[in-house]
Amino acid sequence: MHDILGGSSPTARPITGLLGNIYSGQVPFARPVGFVPPKGGVAIPNANGALPTVNINGIPLGTGLAGTRYAGGQANGQNQNNVNQIQTQLGPDGLGLGFGTITVIDDILTSTPDFGSQQLGKAQGVYVASSADGSTQMMSFTAMFEGGEFGDSINFYGVYKIGSPMSYLSVTGGTGKFKHAIGSANVRGLIPSGQHVTDGAETLLRVTVHLKY
């Protein structure tokens, strides 16, 4: 499952919350410049005096399924150990800036981790930043498979823990040959192979499904 924020071919878009406003320019007198600040722009500190932190793609940390972590080496002069630690930016209410952000997805499902491998279908739905420290995303989406004679799909619901070796989602049903399906899915974050270059920030998930129907 390939989740891509920003760039020329995104598959996910924040639509609510502060990060959603930054993405679409829905703050007073703002222009929709996306996540990357314009040349010569001045970063505005948040409520606790910290400057906004971005990864090497210009996406604010705390955004998307990568959360406060990013797999791309160093960021802002920090070593890899610091990059892998939680780096929550607080808003005026003391909660993380990304808390409550709803992101809509139309992610591509492939048979192997390589982006250019056989496409199995699409994962469409939402995920919501459900913890104040930016460590979890509540996910609700439907995996729709291509080539299914009866419109085969599987519905998933649960919490994805960013940085955890494994997260678990519930299978809440399906259509086509997966009608009345029940079960669970193991979700593990992977590092993109780099065989397909994208100018957005990609989060790659391996989803292993266990079904009974």
What's the pLDDT tens digit per position in 66-77? 765 433 333 344
pLDDT of residue 8: 77
The segment with the largest mean pLDDT, out of 57-61, 108-112, 144-148, is 108-112
Choice between 54 and 66, residue whose per-residue pLDDT is larger: 66
Strands (E), the chain: 2-5, 12-14, 102-110, 119-129, 136-145, 153-161, 167-175, 182-190, 201-212
Tokens describing residue 52: 């906004």
Q: 187-192, long-range: CB within 8 Å, 24+ apart, which pairs?
A: 187/160, 189/65, 189/162, 189/163, 190/113, 191/71, 192/2, 192/71, 192/113, 192/115
The segment with the largest mean pLDDT, out of 62-66, 145-149, 208-212, is 208-212
Average pLDDT of the chain, as a whole number: 74
Burial 114-145 (b: 16+ CB within 10 A, else e): ebeeeebbbbebbbbbbbbbbbbbebebbbbb
Choice between 109 and 86, residue whose per-residue pLDDT is larger: 109
Share of the chain above pLDDT 70, in %: 58
26: which residues sit within 8 A by CB, 6+ positions away? 20
190: which residues sit within 8 A by CB, 6+ positions away? 113, 204, 205, 206
Assign 131 a pLDDT band (cuts: 50, 70, 90): confident
pLDDT of residue 143: 95
Q: Are 107 and 123 in contact (CB under 8 A)?
A: yes
pLDDT of residue 147: 75
Closest CA to 59 of 16, 104, 12: 12
40: which residues sit within 8 A by CB, 6+ positions away? none
pLDDT of residue 42: 56
Lowest mean pLDDT, pick from 48-52, 106-110, 193-197 = 48-52
Each residue of 158-204: pLDDT tens digit? 999 988 899 999 999 999 989 999 999 999 998 766 555 566 778 89
Each residue of 22-35: pLDDT tens digit? 555 555 545 554 55
Closest CA to 184 of 206, 164, 209: 209
Rg (CA), the chain: 18
Please state the rounded mean pLDDT for residues 82-106.
65
pLDDT of residue 160: 95
pTM of this structure: 0.73
pLDDT of residue 200: 72
Helices (H), 30-71: none
Assign 145 a pLDDT band (cuts: 50, 70, 90): very high
Question: Partners of 205 in the beta sheet?
Answer: 189
